[in-house]
Amino acid sequence: MNIAKVIVDVPASSINQTFDYYIPDKFIDILEPGMRVIVPFGPRKIMGFVVGFVSESTFDKLKEIVDVLDITPVLTKELLELGKWVANETLSLSIIALQAMLPQVLKSTYKKELVKKTDLDLPVELEYLFAGRDIVPFEAFEQSNISYNKLQKVIQAGDVTIDYLVKSKITKKQITMVKPAKDSHLLEEALVDLSKAAKKQKQLVDFFIQKEEPIEQKRLLTILQTTTSTLKTLEEKGLIETYKQEVFRNPYNDDRFERTYPLELTDEQRGALNPIKESIEKEKHEVFLLHGVTGSGKTEVYLQAIQEVINKGKEAIVLVPEISLTPMMVRRFKGRFGSNVAVMHSALSAGEKYDEWRRIHQKEVKVVVGARSAVFAPFENLGIIIIDEEHETTYKQEDQPKYHARDVAIHRAENYNCPVILGSATPTLESYARATKNVYTLATLSKRTNDMPMPHVEIVDMRNELHVGNRTMFSRKLVEGMKERLKKNEQIVLLLNRRGYSTFVMCRDCGHVNECPHCDIALTYHKNSNRLKCHYCSYEENVPVNCPECSSDLIRYFGTGTQKVEEALTEIIPEATVIRMDVDTTRKKGSHEKILKQFAEKKADILLGTQMIAKGLDFGNVTLVGVLTADSMLHLPDFRSSEKTFQLLTQVSGRAGRHKLTGEVIVQTYTPEHYSIQLASVYNFSDFYKTEMAMRRKFRYPPYYFLALITISHENKVKVIQTSQKIVGLLMNKISQTTVVLGPTPSPIPRIKDRYRYQCMIKYRNEPQLRMYLNKIKEQFADEMRKENLLISIDMQPYHLM
Ligand code: ADP
Ligand code: ZN
Ligand code: ZN
């Protein structure tokens, strides 16, 4: 079989297929499915994935593979299959599905080098190639006549690795070291020769007379309070030497984590764990829904289930939402399983991510804890997949391939005959409905492990505040509560439910709002730069002095950004110190953690923030949680808005009184009678579930119906409308009677970056051919999409309905 089937890196729908290439002799023994190759494609050379081999091709005039990029496959057979499945499920291109499974480093342009990892001798040709060096460029190997087979053997033995250098940036971390270049008695002689004035130089030489070992340059400079110029001078005199040393990048230094041991489980925890253990033991695929209130010890159940999996020599994937992936979270897993844990987090650099991925790929770890894409971890002996906070919408990827990590997890677990645990205090209606129908196995943890009651929640009707003349955004009750806590040196968390709110500029005379000229959305006011910015494109402008509409100078800022709340807060309670956590203050890498650390160290009384503060925080000293605008999400054009409100209120309430001190929650709202607010305030999930299910049934939404959202966009509005109508017409011919097609209508944001947007929503119960119809429709428009820049985007499980 000397022909390879290759999926090429060309993102166009007409080429969602494999191409055949001859395999040159030198690659024939080493090439395996899942390896990346370089192939000629038209006038260009591009990357592709080998997915299989054949001995005959229906194409004529085959070209040859130019180069092989991997010595071991980057995608396993299972992942290749999974890629096909993902592409099909999400109606995306195979190449995009495959690339979604790999770290960034393997997608970009790169150089390769070979690194020798052993002190022992390699086979003689390879020793000759390395010639005493630890690292050689990959080209050196290609120019030699060593066979790929030989290289593959030493790589498989772990004696040599291939490293990728991203765009000339080194993916491995190096530090500069300094060491004495002479014996200490020679240094002593040199010391005498140094001029009296050269104090710093003398100090440095003296340092190495005392301590003859190498030291990291950065540390040396801080210890001696000196600069690199001193080092340079001494290096020129031949007294010291500097050199680069590679350090293995481990963003989470394992020594930092204190070892923890399995806890004696509560009855409820044991009740939840036992059937999971059985599923692991019997190698039987099963999905468990672990419904446990915040603080009920779900994580301990995960940890003990993973221990069971490791004992069987298998591997575990743990997914947590991006923003819960805090050092606190990592510590719980590293504390139990030490260096057996890899962490995949978007805050890691591309190189760090690659290192972690490689540790999984080379089977150096048994557990990966990570955000959404960690569901593709290249394990080959999976024993469990856990999704914590399963209700989080960030598990759905919003770019192609638009997959949901939950579906991928369940699909992989079916392949491996292993269990999946979905854990949450507020499960999605979809998952809970499946549990009530015994598609999933439900386990409930109803009590907190410390037996502390859930904090009391008080709902404050903000309309009454207006009636008594309180025009601030803080109710009297909340202000009182905050002052009380400040007196007792206790801390407060304030949540500004920011979605749907922003600071915009409006003319008080005519009501004119400044909008982005390219997108139909109000511009957001940024105080620091005093400019108006669009959050959908990069457009910005100065704040107008006069209204562009009526020339009035009564221009005012509206909305409640966190900055504004902070200002108002310091006016009302000047004695309080406030830390703000929102997109603006957490943009820099590590700033998120820094803010949390400051708050944990009690450097502030109040932590004020958006949604991101609702997750996973665990501060013993927080006794009051205030929600400023509980209903700001309720009125968004999204059928999940009640569910999201319920989830958020429950999550944030769980932040108070986690430890010895009892907590209180104050929820401010203009719609206190709404069931999601009422039921969240008494932690009544089951009534919420019933009420919301009735709504979903009535309005034909998930979990009763499936959804598919088609969005059509183009610069010409007429073209968008015409195309949308055509698409709906085509669909109507195919679909069954019970299926509903809504639209076409303008999208909630009708224009982004000068492109008009229309959408239609398909609601269906049973439409086995729908994916095929949609693919066909897309194919019909393929020419227009390519030539006229028409965009038809299909989301088979939409979460963002904007
Ligand atoms: P959840 O993930 O459900 O919010 P956690 O796993 O964070 O809950 O558990 C809350 C606290 O209870 C943690 O401090 C944890 O160490 C502790 N805990 C969990 N299980 C037990 C147990 N069986 N006995 C004592 N403490 C426990
Ligand atoms: Zn005006
Ligand atoms: Zn814009």
pLDDT score for 249: 58
Last residue of a domain, one of 247, 273, 289: 247
Do 643 and 601 share a structural domain?
yes
Task: With a cut of 70, say whether residue 168 has pLDDT above it.
Answer: no
Over residues 151-170, the mean pLDDT reads: 72
> Which segments within 554-705 are labelled E, that is strand?
555-558, 578-581, 606-609, 622-627, 664-669
Task: With a cut of 70, say whether residue 499 has pLDDT above it.
Answer: no
Q: Which ligand is nearest to the CA of 264?
A: 1
Q: Is 94 in the pocket of ligand 1 (CB under 6 A)?
A: no
Do 725 and 671 share a structural domain?
no
On whether residue 678 sits in a domain, the answer given is: yes
Measured in Å, residue 618 CA sits from the centre of ligand 3 at: 38
Mean pLDDT of the chain: 87
- Comparing 420 with 122, which gets the higher pLDDT? 420
On whether residue 284 sits in a domain, the answer given is: yes
Do 324 and 207 share a structural domain?
no
Q: Is 760 annotated as a binding residue?
A: no
Domain around 23: 3-102
Over residues 734-760, the mean pLDDT reads: 90
Q: What contacts 339, CB < 8 A, 6 or more positions away?
A: 254, 365
pLDDT score for 253: 58
- Comparing 126 with 387, which gets the higher pLDDT? 387
Do 315 and 434 share a structural domain?
yes
Do 464 and 441 share a structural domain?
no
**Three-state secondary structure along 179-247?**
EECCCHHHHHHHHHHCCCCCHHHHHHHHHHHHCCCCEEHHHHHHHHCCCHHHHHHHHHCCCEEEEEEEE
Do 347 and 403 share a structural domain?
yes
| Model confidence pTM above 0.85 | no
pLDDT tens track for 597-648: 888 888 999 998 887 777 656 677 888 999 988 877 776 667 898 999 999 8
Do 69 and 40 share a structural domain?
yes
The alpha carbon dihedral of 375, 377, 378, 384 has a sign of negative
Query: Beta strands 287-292 and 420-424: pairing type?
Result: parallel
pLDDT score for 502: 55
Q: Is 269 in the pocket of ligand 1 (CB under 6 A)?
A: yes
Token pair of 50 as six digits: 């080998």
> Which segments within 209-366 are labelled E, that is strand?
215-216, 240-247, 287-292, 315-319, 341-344
What are the φ and ψ backbone dihedral angles of 744, each rounded to 5 degrees? -75, 145
Do 716 and 642 share a structural domain?
no
Token pair of 8 as six digits: 């090429």
Do 279 and 242 share a structural domain?
no
Q: Whose CA is nearest to atom 23 of ligand 1?
A: 265
Do 320 and 227 share a structural domain?
no
- Out of 269, 300, 659, mutate this one to test ligand 1's pocket (max ligand atoms within 8 Å of CB): namely 300
On whether residue 116 sits in a domain, the answer given is: no
Do 647 and 579 share a structural domain?
yes
Do 326 and 262 share a structural domain?
yes
- Out of 265, 299, 652, mutate this one to test ligand 1's pocket (max ligand atoms within 8 Å of CB): namely 299
Domain count, the chain: 5
Q: Which ligand is nearest to the CA of 266?
A: 1
Report whether 750 contacts 769 (CB < 8 A): no
* Percent of the chain clearing pLDDT 70 (strictly above): 93
- Comparing 149 with 573, which gets the higher pLDDT? 573
Confidence of residue 587 (pLDDT cuts 50, 70, 90): low
Quickly count helices (H) and strands (E) in the chain. Answer: 26, 34
pLDDT tens track for 6-32: 999 877 755 568 999 999 998 998 999
Last residue of a domain, one of 102, 120, 147: 102
Task: With a cut of 60, say whether residue 340 has pLDDT above it.
Answer: yes
pLDDT score for 121: 84
* CA-293 nearest atom, ligand 1: 3
